[in-house]
C-alpha cells in the first residue's frame, strides 16, 4: 500500500515537473534554467552514489562529466555521429575511464583516495587546456543540433524548448536507476561496506569489488549529463573541468540531505534558481555556492532535512500523547 501511494505521488510530481516551464510562463529563460537543472541534477546523482552510499569522496567526477562532453563534441563534429551514437560512446568512454581509475585508486584509503582523484582532475584540466586534439583553450565548436530520430520518428532539438523533453527524460531515467540501485543487492552491499567494512567481509562481501562496481555504475550517469550539456551549449572547452562543477556536485549531494532520492534535484533547483533568477554576478555566485557548501558541512551535516527531523519527532510525540489521552478517557 505504501509503495503504491509513493508511486502515485511520484507520478503526479513528475507530470507537474514536466509542465513546470509552461506553468512558469514558458519563456526562453525558464526553459534554459530547467534544462540546466535537469542536466546538473543528473550530473550530481553520479557523485551522490559515491558519497552517500559508498562513503567515498571522489573529486574526479568532473572528469566523467568532461568525458561525456568531449566524446560528444569530437564524434559529432569530426565523425558526424548522431545523438544515439554519441550517447553510447560517452557511456562507453566513461566506463573505460572509470575502470582504469577505479582499479588504480579504490584500493587506497579514503583520504588518499580523495587526494588522488583531485590530482587526476587537475591533470585532466591541464591536458584539455593544452592538447590541440581537444581544441586546447579554444575548445571544440560547431556541435550540431541533437538528433535522436528513429525510423518513423523525427526527434531533433535545436533550442532549450525542444531540449526540455529530452533533459526531463534523462533526469527521470537517472532517478529510476538511482532508486533501483538503492533497492538492489549492490546498493545494500555498498552501504554495508561504508558503515561496517568488517561486517561486510564477514558477510561474504568483497569491499574492493563493491567499490569498483559502484564506480562503474556511477560514472555513466555523470557522463550522460555531459553528453546533453555539450548539445545544450553547442561547444565544449576545458571549463567543464572547472572547480565550479565539483563544488556544485558536492553542494547538491549534501545540501538537502544524503541518500534522499530527490535530494540532489531539490538542491540543484535551489542553487541554479539563485544563479539564474537572483544572480549577484558570476564571482559573487561562486562565492555564495562555496559558502553554502562550507556552511552545510560545518553547521548542518545532515543537510536541510535536519530541520525537518525534530519537527517530525515533535509531531509524533504529540500524536502519541493524543492517543494516550484518548485511551485514558
Give pLDDT tens digits for 1-45.
Answer: 566 777 777 788 888 888 888 888 888 889 999 999 999 999 999
- Residue 31, number of CB atoms within 10 A of its CB: 22
What is the share, in percent, of the chain residues with pLDDT greater than 90?
53
Whether 268 contacts 226, CB under 8 Å? no
Say what the pLDDT of residue 65 is. 96
Range with the lowest mean pLDDT among 63-67, 85-89, 111-115, 311-315? 311-315
Q: Is the pLDDT of residue 327 over 60?
A: no
Task: Provide DSSP, 280-300.
Answer: --HHHHHHHHHHHHHHHHHH-
Say what the pLDDT of residue 208 is. 86
Q: Cell 566523467, residue?
A: 64
Whether 14 contacts 179, CB under 8 Å? no
Q: For the chain, what's the residue count?
A: 329
Cell of 69: 562532453
Say what the pLDDT of residue 68 is. 96
Whether 308 contacts 73, CB under 8 Å? no
Average pLDDT (236-253) is 93
Three-state secondary-structure class, residue 240: helix
Query: pLDDT tens for residues 51-63?
Result: 999 888 888 899 9
Average pLDDT (221-234) is 96
Cβ-based burial of 274 (10 A; exposed 0-12, middle 13-18, buried ≥19): middle
Say what the pLDDT of residue 143 is. 94
Q: Is the pLDDT of residue 160 over 50?
A: yes
pLDDT band of residue 323 (cuts 50, 70, 90) is: very low
Q: Cell 549492490, residue?
A: 186
Say what the pLDDT of residue 328 is. 53
pLDDT band of residue 294 (cuts 50, 70, 90) is: confident
- Which strand (E) or helix (H) includes residue 229? helix 207-233
Give the mean pLDDT of the chain. Answer: 87
Residues 6+ apart with CB under 8 A from 132: none
pTM for the model stands at 0.89
Domains of the chain plus CATH, in order, are 20-328 (1.10.3470)
- Which has more pLDDT, 203 or 324? 203
Say what the pLDDT of residue 310 is. 65
Bridge partners of 156, per DSSP, are 147
Average pLDDT (146-175) is 92
Q: Is the pLDDT of residue 167 over 90?
A: yes
- Residue whose C-alpha is closest to residue 268's, from 201, 192, 175: 175
Average pLDDT (294-313) is 76
Average pLDDT (195-221) is 90
Amino acid at each position: 500500500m505504501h509503495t503504491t501511494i509513493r508511486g502515485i505521488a511520484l507520478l503526479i510530481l513528475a507530470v507537474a515537473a514536466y509542465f513546470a516551464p509552461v506553468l512558469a510562463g514558458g519563456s526562453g529563460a525558464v526553459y534554459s534554467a530547467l534544462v540546466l537543472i535537469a542536466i546538473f541534477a543528473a550530473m550530481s546523482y553520479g557523485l551522490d552514489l559515491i558519497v552517500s552510499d559508498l562513503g567515498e569522496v571522489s573529486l574526479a567526477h568532473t572528469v566523467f562529466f568532461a568525458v561525456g562532453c568531449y566524446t560528444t563534441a569530437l564524434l559529432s563534429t569530426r565523425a558526424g555521429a548522431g545523438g544515439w551514437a554519441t550517447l553510447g560512446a560517452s557511456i562507453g568512454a566513461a566506463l573505460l575511464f572509470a575502470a582504469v581509475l577505479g582499479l588504480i585508486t579504490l584500493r587506497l584509503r579514503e583520504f588518499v583516495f580523495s587526494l588522488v582523484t583531485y590530482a587526476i582532475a587537475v591533470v585532466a584540466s591541464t591536458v584539455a587546456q593544452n592538447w590541440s586534439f581537444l581544441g586546447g583553450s579554444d575548445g571544440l565548436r560547431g556541435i550540431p543540433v541533437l538528433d535522436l530520430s528513429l525510423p518513423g520518428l523525427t526527434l531533433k532539438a535545436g533550442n532549450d524548448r525542444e531540449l526540455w523533453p529530452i533533459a526531463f527524460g534523462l533526469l527521470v531515467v537517472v532517478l529510476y536507476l538511482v532508486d533501483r540501485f538503492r533497492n538492489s543487492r549492490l546498493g545494500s552491499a555498498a552501504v554495508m561496506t561504508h558503515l561496517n567494512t568488517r561486517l561486510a567481509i564477514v558477510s561474504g562481501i568483497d569491499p574492493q569489488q563493491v567499490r569498483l562496481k559502484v564506480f562503474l555504475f556511477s560514472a555513466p550517469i555523470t557522463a550522460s549529463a555531459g553528453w546533453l550539456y555539450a548539445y545544450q551549449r553547442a561547444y565544449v572547452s576545458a571549463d567543464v573541468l572547472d572547480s565550479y562543477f565539483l563544488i556544485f556536485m558536492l553542494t547538491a549531494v549534501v545540501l538537502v540531505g544524503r541518500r534522499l532520492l530527490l535530494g540532489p534535484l531539490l538542491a540543484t533547483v535551489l542553487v541554479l534558481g539563485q544563479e539564474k533568477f537572483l544572480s549577484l554576478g558570476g564571482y559573487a555566485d561562486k562565492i555564495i555556492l562555496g559558502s553554502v557548501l562550507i556552511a552545510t558541512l560545518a553547521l548542518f551535516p545532515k543537510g536541510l532535512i535536519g530541520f525537518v527531523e525534530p519537527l517530525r519527532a515533535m509531531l509524533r510525540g504529540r500524536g502519541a500523547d493524543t492517543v494516550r489521552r484518548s485511551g485514558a478517557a
